[in-house]
């Protein structure tokens, strides 16, 4: 009987040892990806640059790295963000994924891996410019921007020149005066033939209102959140919305005409939106637009020349079992050596302080930007304006109630601008919706 028990115990022990060895072997296979000895990681991205450019980057990485292999999946803009968020917050999803900004759903779910854990050195972390503060949680970088979008003032050089303006407006007062002069000079049967300014979002592209409003709100010195409550209905918010309303109240602009299309057709002299708009419309190469348009920093408002800024970046899933491999890819992708790819693709602003990058990398970037000095001077000036105004703090505030605010703003701001509802009522309605989301 003792012998039988001994045999059973021996068999159990051998079986357990075998299972441990087998499990270790399976873990190793999962980490290395099996036969080729590489750790395979899944990466889901959105096409903020052309998919072919991402595929080229991934091919370059896979060819130059012997321990990690990237499997790339490109998602669409229509539902890609939600696909990623659903997968990540439900405990599944890829190892590396697209992230535009730090959404509270991600930070509260603890699904992001900080820079230090991914192997970023202190020197690498210090290479980012100050806007990286917008990607921190509890002092740690949790997502890694590859390029920034910023609202810029697009202006028709030919139209402004025709009506006596040698350059773009630099302040809100100048913006109003320039727009008023052009609209009134082209007035026909009570409608401006050329709108001095059209606000992007006052047409069918209503979501553009979020970025248009965000720029005016920032320049007025507004705050999204104070003492845990939404505070758009503030003196700053009312001043910003009153300024936007003035153009429509005085019949200097008319809702309905696309700002982008009207600009291209010569029916709109100025509008403001993010800089990739010109790349998407191919204005840099369009012979019909040659020498007719320019891009300037946002006009200075009551408090600053800040404007909307946002980023396109990547993050690592904390529930991945391949964090080390994911970190290797992210450190490679979100590096100064790769930043030129994103700058060239759609004039994205580099997330790095170019004074702190390798001299050869800096020289390459300067050589590239020197081909369009006027464009990059304007973009870099807006970058400085946003840094000086501490726009990262507003970026952080926007995380609270972001989804509800994004949905509520167009439906309440546009009626205020057109005079259908009061400014105070519209802003208060947004605050109520956002506060309900924050507090419940």
CB of 7 closer than 8 Å to CB of 16: no
The token pair at 129 is 């410019």
Per-residue pLDDT, 183? 99
Average pLDDT of the residues in 126-130: 98
The per-residue pLDDT for 103 is 84
Chain region(s) in the chain for CATH 3.40.190.10: 38-149+310-373, 150-305+390-439
pLDDT beyond 50 at 223: yes
pLDDT higher than 90, residue 13: no
Question: What CA–CA distance (Å, rounded) separates 428 from 431?
Answer: 5
Q: Is the pLDDT of residue 14 over 70?
A: no
- The residue whose two tokens read 């190793």 is 28
More confident residue, 439 or 130: 130
Tell me how far apart the alpha carbons of residues 152 and 386 are, in angstroms, rounded to a whole number: 12
- Give dist(CA 374, CA 381) in Å, integer: 11
Residue-wise pLDDT tens digits, 188-215: 999 999 999 999 999 989 999 999 999 9
Q: Which two tokens stand for residue 61?
A: 């990485």
Residue 16: Cβ within 10 Å count: 10
How does pLDDT run across 275-292, given as a tens digit for each residue? Answer: 999 999 999 999 999 999
CA atoms 229, 234, 238, 241: torsion sign: negative
The CATH number assigned to the domain with range 38-149+310-373 reads: 3.40.190.10
What's the pLDDT score for residue 16?
41
Express as a percent the part of the chain with pLDDT over 70. 92
- Model confidence at 71: pLDDT above 90: yes
CB 262 within 8 A of CB 273: no
169 has a pLDDT exceeding 50: yes
Instruction: Give counts: helices (H), strands (E), the chain.
Output: 18, 13
Is residue 147's pLDDT more than 90?
yes
Asked whether the beta carbons of 321 and 91 are under 8 A apart, the reply is no
- Does the structure show a pLDDT above 70 at 105? yes
The topology under which CATH files domain 150-305+390-439 is D-Maltodextrin-Binding Protein; domain 2 (3.40.190)
Q: What pLDDT was estimated at residue 129? A: 98
Percent of residues, the chain, with pLDDT higher than 90:
88
Specify whether the CB–CB gap between 305 and 297 falls below 8 A. Answer: yes
Higher-confidence position of 89 and 40? 40
What's residue 440's pLDDT? 76
- Contact residues for 188 (Cβ-Cβ < 8 A; gap 6+): none
User: Which residue in this structure is represented by tokens 């845990």?
Assistant: 228
Q: What is the pLDDT of residue 35?
A: 58
Does the pLDDT at position 347 exceed 50? Answer: yes
What is the rounded average pLDDT for all residues in the chain? 92
Q: Where are the beta strands (DSSP E) in 178-260?
A: 187-188, 191-192, 225-226, 229-230
């Amino acid at each position: 009987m003792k012998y039988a028990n001994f045999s059973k115990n021996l068999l159990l022990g051998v079986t357990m040892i075998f299972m441990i060895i087998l499990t270790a072997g399976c873990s190793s296979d999962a980490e290395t990806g099996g036969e080729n000895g590489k750790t395979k990681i899944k990466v889901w991205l959105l096409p903020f640059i052309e998919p072919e450019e991402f595929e080229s980057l991934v091919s370059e990485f896979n060819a130059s790295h012997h321990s990690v292999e990237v499997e790339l999946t490109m998602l669409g803009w229509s539902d890609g963000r939600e696909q990623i968020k659903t997968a990540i917050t439900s405990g599944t999803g890829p190892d590396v994924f697209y992230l535009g900004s730090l959404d509270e759903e991600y930070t509260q779910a603890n699904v992001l891996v900080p820079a230090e854990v991914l192997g970023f050195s202190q020197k690498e972390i210090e290479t980012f410019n100050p806007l990286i503060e917008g990607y921190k949680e509890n002092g740690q970088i949790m997502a890694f921007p590859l390029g920034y979008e910023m609202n810029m003032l697009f202006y028709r050089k030919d139209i402004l020149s025709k009506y006596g303006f040698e350059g773009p407006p630099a302040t809100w007062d100048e913006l109003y005066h320039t727009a008023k002069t052009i609209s009134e000079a082209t007035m026909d049967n009570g409608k401006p033939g050329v709108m001095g300014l059209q606000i992007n979002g006052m047409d069918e592209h209503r979501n553009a209102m979020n970025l248009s409003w965000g720029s005016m709100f920032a320049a007025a010195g507004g705050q999204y959140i104070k003492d845990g409550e939404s505070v758009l209905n503030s003196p700053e918010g009312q001043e910003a919305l009153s300024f936007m309303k003035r153009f429509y109240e005085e019949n200097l602009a008319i809702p309905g005409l696309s700002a982008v299309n009207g600009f291209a057709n010569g029916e709109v002299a100025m509008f403001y939106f993010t800089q990739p708009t010109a790349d998407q419309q191919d204005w840099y190469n369009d012979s019909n637009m040659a020498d007719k348009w320019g891009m300037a920093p946002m006009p200075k408002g009551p408090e600053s020349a800040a404007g909307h800024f946002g980023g396109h970046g990547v993050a690592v899933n904390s529930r991945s079992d391949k964090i080390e491999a994911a970190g290797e890819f992210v450190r490679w992708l979100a590096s100064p050596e790769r930043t030129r790819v994103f700058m060239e693709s759609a004039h994205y602003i580099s997330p790095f302080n170019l004074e702190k990058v390798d001299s050869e990398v800096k020289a390459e970037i300067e050589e590239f930007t020197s081909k369009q000095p006027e464009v990059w001077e304007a973009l870099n000036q807006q970058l400085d304006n946003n840094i000086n105004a501490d726009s990262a703090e507003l970026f952080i505030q926007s995380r609270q109630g972001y989804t509800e605010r994004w949905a509520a703003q167009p439906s309440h701001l546009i009626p205020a601008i057109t005079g259908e509802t009061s400014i105070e009522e519209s802003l208060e309605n947004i605050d109520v919706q956002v506060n309900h989301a924050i507090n419940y």
